[in-house]
Amino acid sequence: MYRRRRLVALVLAVALLVAIGFAAVAIVRAWGGGEGSATDASQAPGSQPTPTSSVEPLEPESTEPAIGETPGLPVACTPEEADVEVSVPSSTEAGRGLTVTLEVVTGETRGCLVDLGSLGTTVEITSGDAMVWSTQQCPYTPQERELLLGPDANDTQVISWSGRLSAQGCPSDSPVAEAGTYRVRATVSTAPAEGEGEAAEQPAAELTGEATFTVTQASDSDDEGSDGGDPDQG
């Protein structure tokens, strides 16, 4: 009887230990199963770890025009964007002529187009209300000189006057301009550039500049050698 009780107690003790062991194994598997599978998957052969970051990379701003967008076309210079300055010697002798220098200067706003050729620029010399000489009758070269000037830029065009009155066809034997005070006026006509948008809608404009000079009487030696010193000239 005593042995039977000890045997039963031993069997119950073994069964209790087995049950405790199974329970412990189940708890360990349930606790570490999720982490183990994630770790195994991330460390599988041939796989690379993927870094994570909460900061999004900055993309550089594009300076190219958007698809379908037409870049702005150059526009002709306006009096608000450019000036033309006229420079001449203060005086010259009759029959000697002089050099007229035109300088176009742009502002700081933007670049623009200007034509300093004889088709786009007119230079006139007057005495009072009388026309003395004009590039419309005596055109200079080049006929076309279209320039795209940037902001705060400048360019020059030099034009020679023979000292004689002009006429249609610019004859070389025209009378010599008499002594007196003269005014030279430059007009740069600007037309809108061909295209769309702002360039097509821009009206024609003019850049103008003026200067004065005097023509003095030629010396006796110059009068003797000049064929244009007729005192009856008009």
- 5-to-2, 8, 11, 18, 215 alpha-carbon distances in Å: 5, 5, 10, 20, 150
Task: Look at residue 109 in the predicted model and tell me its pLDDT.
Answer: 86
Give the residue among 206, 109, 103, 101 at the shortest CA–CA distance from 152.
109
Phi, psi at 95, each rounded to 5°:
85, -10
Task: Look at residue 11 in the predicted model and tell me its pLDDT.
Answer: 65
Q: Which residues pair with 206 in a beta bridge?
A: 189
Domains of the chain: 82-225 (2.60.40.10)
Task: Look at residue 41 in the predicted model and tell me its pLDDT.
Answer: 47
Block mean pLDDT (10 aa), the chain, length 234: 63 72 70 52 52 53 52 80 96 96 94 93 97 97 94 96 96 96 94 51 79 91 48 37
CB 113 within 8 Å of CB 147: yes
* pTM of the shown model: 0.61
Task: Look at residue 233 in the predicted model and tell me its pLDDT.
Answer: 36
| Cα 176 from chain centroid (whole Å) | 46
| Cα 195 from chain centroid (whole Å) | 17
Task: Look at residue 199 in the predicted model and tell me its pLDDT.
Answer: 46
